[in-house]
Structure 1
Amino acid sequence: MTHDRLALLYGLGAVGLWSTVATAFKLALETLSPLELIWLAALTSWLLQGAVLGYRGEWRQALTARGWRTALWAGVLNPVAYYLVLFGAYDRLPGQEAMALNYTWALTMAFLAVPILGHRLTGRDLVAGLIAYAGVWVIATRGAVLDLRFEDGLGVALALLSTLLWAGYWLFSARDSRPVLVGQWQNFSVALPLLTLFMLLGPGFSWPGWGAVGAGIYVGLFEMGLAFMLWQLAVNTTRRTARISNLIFLSPPVSLLLLHFIVGEALLPSTLVGLVLILAGLGLQQQGRQTS
């Protein structure tokens, strides 16, 4: 099997798993608070990352490598702040809306890269942003685009804030020299004690039932764990990064179908129109990267 074909399989596996997580979030949040879900998912992901590090014989490197100072801020940003805000958005909005709004993180990253990394915006970036954020407006107003009224303004704000946190995390991590998995495990090692403290000061620990625990473990294994690892393998294996990056456009339509058939969400016309605009903006931006 060629490197590019293997990378394609890794990428498809990651996108397939990511396509299920919006449904998993909504099912888990029926019985868990955002804080309870992130604590359980982060614990699961931390154990998985540790097991993989042990299998690869990288435990000593993870424990002794420099980078713990970086983990102090990176772990607070991701997973703590990002997932608390993201799960808060999913807790308030239909899954289809939270998922679509969160997909603007790539455009948010392009705009944040200007002050953080000194990048320059192109005309294509600006047009792509206008198209995508027109989609955000359609979704936020549920099609009543001329009304300055949102069905759930706080939920929309949380979804958009999650894109700022996610994009900011990756931009500030651009100079992070730690091996990816080592860095992730260190970040989660910092995050877990903080999340545990939040749990003790907040809702406390109680048994939510096997269904809720299973949903939390699923999120930790696949959203925070295996999907991330598969995507890294895809990016590191391929010789055609643009081809792998384009796979991400497969995830939203599949997510919508799963939310409809499993969660029972009616597909809102405003979500479909807004998502088309968001994906069109992302596609325009992606095309610019390939030709630049």
Structure 2
Amino acid sequence: MQEIDAKNPRRAMAFGLATVLCWSTVATAFKLTLRELDPPQLLLYAAVFSTASLLALLAVQGRWRLFVTALTQHPWRSLGLGTINPLVYYLVLFEAYDRLPAQVAQPVNYTWAITLSLLAAVFLKQRLRGKDMAAAAVAYAGVVLLSMQGEWGSWGRVDGLGLALALLSTLIWSGYWIAAASDRRDPVAALAANFCMSLPGCLIACLVLSSPLDVSWQGVAGAAYIGCLEMGLTFALWVTALRLAPSAAQVSTLIFLSPPISLVLIHFLLGETIHASTFAGLALVLAGLGLQQFGRKSTS
């Protein structure tokens, strides 16, 4: 594993770009698969495929013992974090995508970084800077514009509950990262352990809210894609990119490429008409994220 840990800017950029390209397809994949599966079904099957992909990766890399250690020495941590992600987080996120146009759900989900800074100030006692507050104001102004969906000056036709769930998902995701901040286990092995412990809960949720057997092969195929490229292997790609990069900032800025690429796919593959308010809202969300990141660099 020495080669993976050695700094290599070119390989870091390659892994980072691969991750961003995968993330760019997520919104489209969610919407297409949700035509075949309901949110509880998608949660169950995606979690199964994600767990399998992570375990396969660890086995191929010869790091199976890290998974066993992560699971057996920290079962309750794995259960707690697995309950948050994937069980609660993705159930809420899939329901939001089921109710909202992809062009709204995806940019709103990107505001989790803003939410994280706000929650960190409360729970981790981190200093909340003026730039953090300004970034939040700009990003959430973007959310308001996204909700208009081409009807300027009104809330448009957006599903109110769907928008609330999308915002709630950012709270859950931020809470997950705060809870995982003290986790010293190998990141990929820990995620695999968390997902393993979440599977019974995902099955129960599907049994109570839906049916795990009433599915199409197209839905299962979509869940496999989402499980591997959104919930599983992409995480490993991103971790590798961060390890190879001389500094996290060199690859973290790549995430700004994902929303614009995603909009292109949403338009051409889903057939959504991209409203002017979507472009304006996305610009504000990205500006808020950029302001937050620029503020960190300037004070570091």
TM-score normalised by the chain length of structure 1: 0.96
Task: State the AA in 1 paired with 2:111.
Answer: T
Contact 2:118 2:128 in 1 (8 A): yes
Residue of structure 2 aligned with 1:85, choices 92, 99, 103 = 92
1:44 matches 2:49: yes
Q: CA shift at 1:186, angstroms?
A: 1.0
- RMSD of aligned residue pairs (Cα, Å): 1.6
Measured against aligned partners, the alpha-carbon deviations of 1:188-236 in whole angstroms (never above 9, x if no partner) come to 1111111112222332232522211111110011001221111100011
Structure 1: stretches of 5+ with no match in the other structure: none
Aligned pairs for 1:1-292 (under 5 A) are 3-65=8-70, 66-142=73-149, 144=151, 146-147=153-154, 151-292=158-299
CA distance in 2, matches of 1:194, 1:216: 17
Measured against aligned partners, the alpha-carbon deviations of 1:159-213 in whole angstroms (never above 9, x if no partner) come to 0000001111011111011110111011111111111122223322325222111
| Paired-residue identity, % | 46
CA distance in 1, matches of 2:273, 2:156: 21
Contact 1:4 1:240 in 2 (8 A): no
Contact 2:100 2:158 in 1 (8 A): no
CA distance in 1, matches of 2:262, 2:208: 35
Task: State the AA in 2 paired with 1:262.
Answer: L
Contact 2:95 2:162 in 1 (8 A): yes
CA distance in 2, matches of 1:9, 1:72: 33
Question: Structure 1's 145 and 130: CA in aligned 2 closer, same or farther, altered over 3 A?
Answer: farther
Q: CA shift at 1:38, angstroms?
A: 1.1
Residue range with higher mean Cα deviation, 182-191 or 47-56: 47-56
TM-score normalised by the chain length of structure 2: 0.93
2:3 aligns with none
What SS is found at the alignment partner of 1:175? coil
CA distance in 2, matches of 1:87, 1:138: 22
Contact 1:67 1:183 in 2 (8 A): no
CA distance in 2, matches of 1:120, 1:149: 36
Q: CA shift at 1:144, angstroms?
A: 5.0
Question: Structure 1's 67 and 278: CA in aligned 2 closer, same or farther, altered over 3 A?
Answer: same
CA distance in 2, matches of 1:148, 1:210: 37
Question: Structure 1's 265 and 244: CA in aligned 2 closer, same or farther, altered over 3 A?
Answer: same
CA distance in 1, matches of 2:21, 2:173: 20
Structure 2: stretches of 5+ with no match in the other structure: 1-5
Alignment length, in residue pairs?
292
Q: CA shift at 1:158, angstroms?
A: 0.4
Residue range with higher mean Cα deviation, 146-155 or 42-51: 146-155
Residue range with higher mean Cα deviation, 87-96 or 67-76: 67-76
What SS is found at the alignment partner of 1:174? coil
